[in-house]
A and B are shown apart, each in its own frame.
Chain A
Amino acid sequence: MNDCECKSGFYSLRDCGQPATAQCQVCNRAMCREHAAPQSLYAQCRDCWARQQQQGPDADARGRFRDQDYDDWAYHYRNRHYAEGYAPIYVGTHYHSYYDYYDSRSFHDRNDNADLHGQDDVRAGFGDS
C-alpha cells in the first residue's frame, strides 16, 4: 500500500508520510493508523469522521473541547475552522483535492491564478493527486 494521503497540521498542512494501513471508506484516501478515526473502527479517516460528526444533530456538543479526546477535538475544530474561512498553506509535495471543499478562498484564488498544476501561491487548495 502507498503512503498515507491524509494531511497533518492545523495552521499549515503537510504530508503525513507514514505508510498507509487502510483506505478510508468515505473518501477512498489511503490512511495510516494515526489518521484513522478509532470511533469508526478505523474504517474512516479522522477528517471524514469529523465532517460527518459535524453534520450530526449534536454537532455543537462534539465541537466543545473535552480533554479526554483532544486529537479528535483538534480535527473537529480544524474542520470547522477551515469551513469558516481559514485557508492553511500547504507545504507538502503530494496534492490532494480533498481539502478544496473547505477552502473557498484558495479555490477562487486558483481559478483566478489559473495554474492547474499547483505552481501558484494559493493557500492550501490542492490539485488532484
Chain B
Amino acid sequence: MLQVLRALQQLSPAQRRLLTARRIRGEYAPAQLLQLLQELTAFDRLRSSAGGGGWYIATAVLFGLLGLALALTQDPLWLVLTLVAVIAIVVLVRLQRRVRALTLSANLAAVAMPFIATLKQDMASQQALAVDLDLSPPQEPGKRFGTPRPYKQGNRQRTDTVYRDAWFAGSAQLADGARLRWRVTEDIIESVRSRRNRRNKLKVKTRHGKRYLIALSLSLPAGTYGLAASRRGTADDRLSARSSDKRHTIKLLRKLKSRSLAPLASGALIEAVSTTYAQAVRAAGSTP
C-alpha cells in the first residue's frame, strides 16, 4: 500500500485529479492521450498487484490485542500500545478505502487504449481527438439502473440488478477527411439466484451477463469515397448509409453479448469501425 501511495504522489496534480474523478473529457492529441492513459493504467496495475493492505491491518490488530492482553495481565501502561494500534487501524482502513476508490475499469486498458492506438495511425499529428471516457468500473453503485425486484422462478428466488455503463464516447477528424463518432455502452446483468435445499440451507448463486452496444457514425468526403453497392456486415448489425453531394454518412449499431464479466475483446471496437469503412469504396475519378 505504501508503494501505491508513493506512486500516487509521483503522479502530476492533473493526473491525480483525473484519477480521483475517474473521467477524462476533452480534446487531446492521440499521442498525448495515450501517454496520459498509459501512466494511469501503470498506476492501476501497481495498485491491483500491491494488494489492499490487509496484512498491515492484521498486524495492527495483532499488536492491539497483544497490548490489551498485556495491559490486563501486567501493566495498564500497555494500553498505549492498544491505542496506537487502534489509531493505525483507523488510518490504514481509510487509506485502503482511498486506494480502492482509485480502481480503474478494465475497459480502459483492454478496449480504449488499443482503439486510440489505431486511431492515432489514421490521424495527422496536429488533429485532436474528443473523448468522454468514464474510467470507473462498470459495477459502481452509481451505475445501477432501475431498482432490482426479487421474483420467483420455479423454486428459486431471483434478483436481477442491471448496471448501465455508457463508458466511452468520442469523435475524431481523420487524416483522410473522414469524421468518426462512436459511443460504447454496456449493460451488466447481475442475477442472484437463491433456493433452500432439503436441509433448509440457503444456496446462493450469482450469474452475470453483459450486453454491449456499439454505435458508430462515419462521415466520408464524397470526393475521395463512394458507397459500396452492397452492405457488408454481420447479420446482427444495423447498418445505414446516407449520401449528399459532399459527404457519405455510414451508421452502424452493433450489439454483442457475453456471459463473462471480462471486458470486450480489444479488437471489437476496431472491427466495428472497419465494418463501417468496408461500406465505402474509392470514389470514381479520385486519385490515384
Interface residues of A (CB under 8 A from B): 8-12, 14, 64-65, 67-68, 70-71, 73-74, 77-78, 81, 86-95, 118-119, 121-123
Contacts and interface: CB of A to CB of B under 8 A. Distances in A.
**Nearest 10 interchain pairs by C-beta:** A70-B117, A10-B121, A10-B118, A65-B114, A74-B117, A11-B277, A121-B282, A91-B176, A12-B176, A121-B281
Contacts of B176: 9, 12, 14, 91
Interface in B267-288: 267, 270, 273-274, 277-278, 280-284, 286-288
Contacts of B267: 77, 81
A71 B288 contact: no
B61 interface: no
A48 to B, nearest CB: 17
B29 interface: no
B266 A14 contact: no
A90 B225 CA distance: 10
18 contacts: A8-B175, A9-B121, A10-B122, A11-B273, A11-B277, A12-B176, A65-B266, A67-B38, A67-B41, A70-B113, A70-B114, A78-B118, A81-B267, A89-B280, A90-B288, A92-B288, A121-B283, A123-B281
Contact of B274 (A9, A11, A122): A11
B31 to A, nearest CB: 9
B264 to A, nearest CB: 12
Contacts, number: 97
A29 B121 CA distance: 19
A15 B174 CA distance: 14
Nearest to B287: A93
Contact of B226 (A10, A73, A91, A121): A121
A121 B287 CA distance: 10
Contacts of A123: 281-282
Interface of B: 34, 37-38, 41-42, 109-110, 113-114, 116-122, 174-176, 178, 224-226, 266-267, 270, 273-274, 277-278, 280-284, 286-288
A70 B34 contact: yes
Contacts of A70: 34, 38, 113-114, 116-117, 120
Contacts of B274: 11, 81, 86
Given A11-B174, A123-B281, 9 more contacts: A9-B122, A9-B176, A12-B178, A14-B176, A67-B113, A74-B114, A81-B274, A119-B288, A121-B282
